[in-house]
Structure 1
Amino acid sequence: MSDEALFIQWVTPARRRHFADTLALALPPILALTILSLLTISLLFALCAATVSLLVSLVLARQRSLRFDRLWLIRTLDSTRPELEDSSALIFTDEAPASPLQSLQRHRIAARLDQGNPQDLAPPWSKRALLIVSLTSLALIAAALLWPRASDGPPTLAPSSEGLPAKPGIPRLVAQNLRIIPPAYTGLPVRDSATLDARVPQGSRLEWTLRFDPQATAPKLLMLGNQPITLRQDGANWIASRTADAAFLYRVDPAAGRGPTPPLHRIDAITDAPPQVKALTDSLTIVKPGQRNWSPAFAATDDYGVAASARLRITLAIGEGENVTFSEREIPVSGNGHARDRRFTPRLDFSTFGFAAGGDMVVQLIVRDNRSPNPQEVRGPSLILRWPSPKAPESSGLTGMVNTTLPAYFRSQRQIIIDIEKLLKEKRGIAPDRYLARSASIGGDQQILRGRYSQFLGGENEGAPDLPTADGEAHSDGDGHDHGGPPVATPNVFGEKEDVLAEFGHPHDESPASSLDPETRAILKQAVDEMWQSERELKTGHPDAALPYAYKALRFIKEVQQATRIFLSRVGPELPPIDASRRMTGKREGLASRQLEITPIEQQDGPAAAAWRALGDGPDAIRGAINLAPLDGWVRTNAARLPDALALSGAIDAVRQAPGCAACRTKLRALLWAAMERPSGRLVRRRPADATGARYLDRIGAAQ
């Protein structure tokens, strides 16, 4: 056996014993810390605390066990084994004996060493320390379990803040408490509120504990617009509970309407927001040489936490031109980090998904939050990984230029603008020749896009745009059109349009071009002209000068896309047949007026406008009680679009309870004004004439 193996054999029992002893001392405090965190904070925090504490204990136990090294072994053997004659160092050393005497002594000591057992060197268990630590931890756990918490037993009541005067024999609220128990998925603790107004997560359970003086007989919680809640007696207190699925207004009525009207209280239910997914990787990534995998990065955030697992939707587009095949699949992915801010960085191997050159991989992360039941699901942005085809691009013999084009769904005017802006941002870090090549490449994409739009103009804009002074479109040899060969001598028929056009010109009324109305056609021609200007600047290495033309082209394209008028072939009218038997008879049976009735515009804010006028000082004002029932219905119908429907309902109730309260009427009128739809804009005066228009008007006046 080698010296190293012999050393490990003798120190392993001691190291294992000390490692286990350290963990045994650490486990009771870890258990106590976990239970205390669970009872006082939350389950998630308790799990995190237990995990971190256990990892620290493992590292500490390993470090302590490594103290049993070679020096410790030699000292221990020399002190506990007299027969080794203080010569243990001769056995557990890597150096060769310096003399024959040392070699002889080493063989003698090695024979005596085998008479012992390595287990005898293991240190004893720390029984006393383990007992003290265990008893202390048990005491802490028992104290935490027996300590009164806010969610156990009757809560501590706070003095009432109703502010109502005391009347003999009429019960009134003197103490109150509102316990809020959020849903378990939120991880929020149970809390007590001394006031009866609160903002709570949607789905929270509310528990009221109230006390009255003198003792009430049948108190209730009057829900504004809903059924009242009856309180049940528990000793000297009255208790009620409800789930806050939506916001509501209520008041505490201890005397069944016999006393003064209590004030309204408000509970706002905060809706759980859906998770947010953000891409941490560029939206378009190009595969680098030698790359065999891809790790797109996403960040998912939520107010109460994102689920640890998500789904990654992967779409593959393999092929070129018309031979493109698509496939889609979803794989589960796991996130890391805090539940409210998780990071998802899946590793995608190209060989696993069959991703090859000439294809695109589009990934989209689908996450869920921790809401229970019905978790909310959100789809993140799409990220694209492109693997260019290894084939050499074809060159055109006419232009002598090589253009690398993108797939059709990326060659858009907006994408060209994005590419130009990206190139301008990276100008400082790119070599001049590389900068010029990328600019020319974008110019090639602009040329392809211009050709696609030029087909709707009959191919007329394949060359430079017309000068502003051009009065018409002339056709001549070398103008870029295919005029064909010389005209064939065939007999002409007088008046035949086709023969005249075939001999002296060529048509431009292909079906795509003839489907546009003149106005849309003119806008499209302007877009193509701007594309030509952008292409020219790009191919000459001036993307900064091409950017304004690209933006103008995009604006014209949007106008064309919004155009709805097209030319249709003319067809004859399909009128009903004329009944000749009724002619000249004077019979008018079955005839009706064809005049359309004028339908008045339906005002949706009619009840609100009527109440606003009634609360004012005009001729329609009402000084006394106002019928607010139509206004209540209007608020319930339009609650989704109102800025604060609960505040408006509370103001309506205040005016109903005190019709003569000037402050209540003013507040309700102000809320109505903010809630009603804004009136349509008035007629705008025509803008004054500019210099050109003024000269035109002067010429007209002079001519008259």
Structure 2
Amino acid sequence: MPEANGKYIISNWQKKWARSNLFALVLLALSAALFLTTLFHVVFSAPFWLVIPLFLLLVSVLFFTGSLWKISIPNVARFLNSYFPELEESSELTLKPTESLNLLERLQRQKVEHILPELPQPKEFDRRLKTASVIFLISLIISFLLAKLPFSFRRAHFMPIKEAFNGTKSSAKPEVILPEIERFILKITPPAYTGKGNREQEKFTISAEDGATVSWEINTNKAVKQVSLIFNDHEKLDLKAANVEHTLWKIAKEIHNPGFYQVNLDGKISELYQVEVIKDLPPVIRIQSPKPSTVIDFGEPQKTLLKTALSDDYGISEAYINATIASGSGEAVKFKEQKISFEAAFNGHQTQYQLQKTLDLKALGMQPGDELYFYIQATDNHRQETRSEVYIVSIADTAKLMQMEGMANSLDVKPELFRSERQIIIETEQLLHEKDTIKVEEFKKRSNNLGFDQKLLRLRYGKFLGEENESNIGDPEAEGETSLSNPKDFSNAAKILDAYTDKHDNAEDAGFLTPETKNQLKATLNEMWSAELRLRTYKPQEALPFAYKALRLLKDLQQKSRAYVAKTSAKIAPLKPAEKRLTGDLTKIIDPVNQQDFKKPTDPNLALRQSATLLHQLKNGTGLGASSQQILRQTNLQLSSKAAAQPSVYLSAVTAFRKILAQINQPKNIREKDILTVEKAIQKMLPPVAKLPQPTTTNLDLGLASSYFKNLNRTNQ
């Protein structure tokens, strides 16, 4: 059909253009992925298979964010109008239906239909594909050249980038490699408990996990007879030749202790390289709830919510609750131990857990008066265990609170109108027991009376805190005395102030109580007030938990105020001073002779102090004798031992000290920078000087304990 001829041609060109742009997009993504993978391999020793996920990622980003391949047919028609002037801006007419065109537009469309088949394909359709092909070729060449760079160039230009990326200081001194070493690779295999994969590095300084296996692979530029590693100046590890030319040497070692080492290549020793061991810390347990000691009172649900947070360096493999229930008292106490597991699954890969567990005390078999002792134990992948503190949850024993043991006093000064908290609880439980057999009015009346009794008891204990005196409330005689209705009391200022001012008790008595006792007494009054409120509102069942808690707090206060005095019934023999006076035999009593040899204590830091003085002389250019040089060598041994334990602190000082000892006979060649480095390390090793004058601390026993043990050792000899 001639009508569809022009539209068909434009549609074909649109498909070719979109296909060309899509191929260009794929080539651009592949070029970028290839270049980045090679760069990561050179700088960070990344594997080459990283190009696949990186390519897929870049293609996805370019496909969904770019619009190069989104070319519509109207866009192609508009492009043809601008690219071919002979179309006379009329190519869009081929896309419209014939019925919608007028006579002039139909004639123009027929003209365009005859011109379109004769037009060549525009070069613009393949321009992006050609550009992408050139970019891909350049990326391929650059990636090949990067992969073939010599080791020395890669170390000089790319190693600082790697160290900066890893968080090391950019101003850190680069490693000095022996010139005979052409290339080397250190492969670190972390232990299984870390869950980490193998990694490679191109530097001799080691930072590995405790128990990691480090493999050295050293390539030399010429044949050598022997290559060895010297650890901490005393342990020697010989490398084995892996080829016939003796240019490839390999060895592996399991690292457990920090320190330093050197490379010995046919007697030529390198500088000191640090060995840092990352220790695995035990799990950390933080219990958020409950409190270290929790008491569940009467009426409260016999459950407690345990919330804890567990964390570890590499993963937690196991965690559980160790619970011990103590029931009974005295010699009849019984203990029952059991393990309670958490609902979380410990796979050994997760490093942090937020756990919670509801401990149902009734399901555990606890009764009133029993106590639950529990702690959390966690184990990490390295089989290191950590236990939390012991927490206590107890259920208040209401039967024990109702006993009179420890509450009776030989002198009872309580007035009869006051009822004790125990009596209020007994009558409240009796009222609840008779609730169904009495009338509602009688029930409310008795509940209100119990609330009034609770109020009187609360006011009685409130006097100890200096609270308001409400003892005269409701007294008609007292109200008549302060009433202002009597004409005789007109203009009586004293009675007016007495009626309209708020009078308080003397609060000085409250100062005799300790702050802890005050706080517990206030808590008791709060519980009494809560019980009174519910008794006044005819809810005795809800008042019982508050009354029981008030009784428990009162009993604790009374037990704390008790004083225990031990009874003594010693019988002393009668003295006879007249018969025994001056009749003893003193012939065997001799003067005590105490002979002790004191050795002057040696100062273990004497060599360090002397070395500080000798280094100052070297700084001034003064030569040293043989004895002074021996002191410096002795200090070098102490500094090397310190560097083996803390290489990150003292390794640079050991290197500087060895340079000083190498030029000890030529003081002018010694650099002042090395002397300052060694002096700082010596100052760190020396103990701090005691500040004088300062007060001397003496033991409370005036040295009695030390004298006792000294004489005890003498008798044992």
- Give TM class, smaller chain: 0.3 to 0.5
TM-score by length of 1: 0.46
Could you state the TM-score of these two structures normalised by the residue count of structure 2?
A: 0.45
* Structure having the higher Rg: 2
Point out which structure has higher relative CO (alpha carbons under 8 A, 6+ apart). 2
Higher helix share: 2
